[in-house]
Structure 1
Amino acid sequence: MNRASLTILVLLGAAIWALTLSGHGWVLPLSFFTPLSAVVSAVSVVILLWDVWLWRLGLLHPWPVSRPVLRGTWRGELTPAKGEARTIFLVLDQAFSRIETRTFTAESRSASIAARLDKVDGEFLLAAIYRNDPDLLLHDRSRIHRGAVCLWVHGPDPTELSGCYWTDRDTKGQLRFERVSRQLSSDFASASALAARSA
């Protein structure tokens, strides 16, 4: 929410509050609205803190916040419909209002173009559309491509994700992940190091 929208929302709330008080016989001076700018700034800070950090506090789960905290590095197994299973790492960068995915294998990396975490049939489902970039020297056998992934979230404090993927190269397969750290890795090597330390 930008500052203009937030200002309108706070002003609307203040106006409703003032009208309610007036209906109860209060006489309010125009100075009642003087702190508007300060209130908007304070609410902006609270919303930012909530979005980035506060909502993840354990004491707020599972009520009033039911959304699971997935932020961190996850080690998994990618099993294609044709071919051998291989190790893959999933890194989830999550705020209350958004979630972004990155994956790393020994030969490629991908990043989400769009991603959502929603409740479906009583369980949370992470769905994303991504772009995959294989290492430059492998482009002759593995071209840049796009794909989609759906991962079911298991439990309110999840340690496991599972689901499937498919791509515009007509490939598909299954995925299963286990959380190895709440830290965010930047590549395959750093994710492997985190996984080794957690073993």
Structure 2
Amino acid sequence: MFTRNSISVLLIIAVITWGAFLWFLGIQLTWEHAKPYSLTLAVLTGGWTLFNKYLWRKWPCRLFVRTPNLNGMWKVALQSTYRDPETREPKGRIDAYIAIRQTFTSLSVRLMTAGEHESFLVASSFDINDDGTTYLYGVYQGVPSISDRKEVTAIHYGSFRYKVIGSPVTRLSGHYWTDRETGGSIDLFDRRSELFDSFASAEAARKNIRETEHPLP
């Protein structure tokens, strides 16, 4: 990501290059030419900050950016190959939420389940094909609740691949694998703009919305 220092270095290189060409062309240089430097740096830094955090996902910038906007709180359905150690029965469907916070240069993906298990992104990349088909690849760390770390599961790592569906994006669907030799399918849907940091708060907010939309008689 560009910082004020990196933008300053690039601007200095541009100024030196520009000045060298003017000198080569025989145009006299004075310190007056350097006066707009601070203002130019402020404009470039501010412009980049706005673009990176906000403008990249708005029109008309969206016309020139292929990276999909995934920001939001997503409802999640998981189907895992994990089996209960005692009964050997499959886990079945797991309901969860994923909070995605995204800028043009960064992506945060945090999955939360009812048991207060969390998984968060360690590394990620987009694969955007020529036909527009887009996939999100990632490596994550899974952190179960303290009470489950010995009896049920341990801290682990995994990877995933999501297919990005819709423009604007309405769904992500794919698979995941873990270093515990388990895996499964995952489906993200019902995207909302308000973000939460726990399963309970996200579920409570959805419940309030449903009750508002469909009040009890």
Instruction: Specify the alignment match of 2:172 in structure 1.
Output: 161
Q: In structure 1, what is the Cα distance between the partners aligned to 2:59 and 2:42?
A: 27
Give SS of 2:100's match. strand
Q: 1:128 aligns with which of 133, 138, 149?
A: 138
- Per-residue CA shift, 1:74-95, capped at 9, x if unaligned? 0011011343111121111100
**2:15 aligned partner, one-letter code:** A
Q: In structure 1, what is the Cα distance between the partners aligned to 2:99 and 2:139?
A: 15
Cα shift at 1:20: 5.2
Q: In structure 1, what is the Cα distance between the partners aligned to 2:198 and 2:38?
A: 43
Cα shift at 1:54: 1.5
Q: In structure 2, what is the Cα distance between the partners aligned to 1:40 and 1:179?
A: 41
Instruction: Specify the alignment match of 2:95 in structure 1.
Output: 87
- Per-residue CA shift, 1:20-72, capped at 9, x if unaligned? 556776544232123223322221121111111111224432x1222221111
Instruction: Specify the alignment match of 1:53 in structure 2.
Output: 54
| 2:15 is the alignment partner of 1:14 | yes
Cα shift at 1:188: 0.2
Instruction: Specify the alignment match of 1:118 in structure 2.
Output: 127
- Per-residue CA shift, 1:145-195, capped at 9, x if unaligned? 111111111122011000011111111000011143112211001221333
Q: Determine which structure has more spread, i.e. the larger CA radius of gyration.
A: 2
* Count of aligned pairs: 198
Q: In structure 2, what is the Cα distance between the partners aligned to 1:179 and 1:15?
A: 52
TM-score norm. by structure 2 comes to 0.81
* Contact kept? 1:124, 1:152, Cα under 8 Å: yes
Q: In structure 1, what is the Cα distance between the partners aligned to 2:60 and 2:42?
A: 26
5 Å matches for 1:138-149?
Answer: 138-139=148-149, 140-149=151-160
* Contact kept? 1:118, 1:126, Cα under 8 Å: yes
Aligned-residue sequence identity (percent) comes to 27
Cα distance change, pair 59–39 in 1 and its aligned pair in 2 (3 A): closer
Give the gaps of 5 or more residues in structure 2: 82-89, 211-217
Give the gaps of 5 or more residues in structure 1: none
Q: CA RMSD in A?
A: 2.1
